[in-house]
Every structure is written in C-alpha cells, then in structure tokens.
Structure 1
Amino acid sequence: MTRVTEDDLESQDDGRVLYQGLPYTGEVAELAGDGTVVAVVSYERGREHGPWREWYPDGRLKVAGRVEYGKGAVGTWRTWHPNGRLAERHDFDGDGRLRGVRRWDAEGNLVESRDYLDPP
C-alpha cells in the first residue's frame, strides 16, 4: 500500500482527496514538526476508508479504529491514556451508529458504561 503525507494531497469541495490529480487510494500520514508520524488514515478512491491510527509523541498508540466511506466510524474504536492504559472504547455497528461506550480513568477503573439500542 502506498503512503503519502497530507501535504502531498489536494482536497476537493466534495470531500475527496487527490494525489497527482487522481482520487487517492492508500495511507496518508500526518507528521509532527520533527517528521515523526503521529497519525495514519486510510483512503480508498479519494475517501476516508479503512484503518485510522494516532500516536502520542513518544510512539505509544493513542487512537485506533476503522472508517467506512458513507458510514463514518464502524466497529470498535479505542483511545488510550498517555500511560498506555485504555481510556475509552466506542462500539459502532456496521452502519456507523454508536452502540456502546466504556470509559476508564488513568488507573484503569471503569468510570462509565453505556449501551444504546437506539443511537443517541
């Protein structure tokens, strides 16, 4: 799979991104000022589609999930505290509707747990 940076892409009014004049398929890396990769988002035919990952400056995973074009977030999305402990878990169905949320404090204690039959 190819990987480019945000600076290599051209954004269109319809939300698509182009690379060298064509709708881009591959990964897009967001770089910090020092060149460190802080996020990678997947695209298909110019639209966000596929894995989405973000990292803290020290390289620890910050956010991981999946996006499907036309649906948004799908499946399980996780966010971690800077200490590496799980901070949040959001569960989405295949149509991008939120079905559940769990939150933990930095020590790992569950502080919120909600399930949704009908998305909020």
Structure 2
Amino acid sequence: MVDRPWADVPQLPPASATYRNGVLDGPVRHYGPDRRLRTERWYRDGRPHGPWRSWYENGRLAEEEIFVDGRRVSHLAWTTTGQPISSVEAKHTRQPRAIDGEAGDTRTSDARHRDGDVGH
C-alpha cells in the first residue's frame, strides 16, 4: 500500500489517497483551506467499503454512510449543531456519490486520483 499526501500542491485542495496495485484501497481524505479534515472515505479493491464521513467547517460530523462491498448499508446526517436530521437503512444497491476525481466520478476534471495524480 502507498499513501500519497498532496498537501503541498498549491493549485489543488489538500488530499491524500491510498492505492494498491493502482486501485483505491484504504482511506481517501480531503481537507479544507484551514487544513481540517472535511471528508474521509474508505475503499477496498476500488469499491466503497467502510465509513464515508463528512464534517462541517465547525468540526461537527455532518454525515456518515457505511458501505459494505460497494453497497450502502446505512446513512446518518446531522445539523451544524449536532442534531440528527436523517436516518436511512439502505436495503438495495446504491451507487455512492463521488467527489470529483474519485472512483465512480463521471465528471471531467484536469486531475484524477490515479497513481500519483489527484483531483478534488
């Protein structure tokens, strides 16, 4: 496994991703301009597996989705003050939302998460 931090690349938001044999395998993290963690998503063999979390600028957890072998099995969300706003138990296969440049993203970007390149 290789962990590749890109915090010193000025034109891109700070991010890091872990790959095995050219495929996402482990955490993908994106940081805000203040260098605080904003999203963390886990992959296994290029598929979502484990927690996907995002945080508000105030540091509170905004959303958490749990994936098992590419399928979302739960989803929770909170307000900026920490109050629960939704709870969904997924009973069917769902395509996870991708951040620009992550696996599953179909938008065009100048940079991609592929062996040494990163996009936001």
Equivalent residue letter for 2:55: W
Partners of 2:10 and 2:36 lie apart in 1 by: 16
How many corresponding residue pairs?
94
Instruction: Provide the rounded CA distance (Å) in 1 between the counterparts of 2:81 and 2:74.
Output: 21
TM-score using structure 2 length: 0.68
CA deviation vs aligned residue, 1:7-60 (integer Å, no higher than 9, x gap): xxxxxxxxxxxxxxxxxx512333465488711000111111111111111121
Give me the identity figure in percent.
Answer: 30
Residue in structure 1 matching 2:56, options 54, 78, 81: 81
Point out the more displaced range, 33-42 or 56-65. Answer: 33-42
Residue among 28, 31, 38 paired with 1:52? 28
SS at match of 1:52: strand
Q: Please tell me the residue identity of whatever aligns with 1:73.
A: P
Structure with higher strand content: 1
* 1:84-114 deviations in Å (ceiling 9; x for gaps): 0000000111x11001111111111111110
TM-score (norm 1): 0.68
Alpha carbons 2:13, 2:32 under 8 Å: kept:
no
RMSD, aligned CA: 2.2
Q: After the TM superposition, which of the residue ranges 33-42 and 55-64 deviates more from structure 2?
A: 33-42
SS at match of 2:49: strand
1:69 is matched with 45
- Greater C-alpha Rg: 1
- For residues 53-84 of structure 1, the C-alpha deviation after alignment (integer angstroms, 9 at most, x for no partner) is 111111211111211124x1111111000110
* Contact 1:78–1:87, Cα closer than 8 Å, also in 2: yes
Q: Which fold has the larger relative contact order, with Cα–Cα distance below 8 Å and residues 6 or more apart in sequence?
A: 2
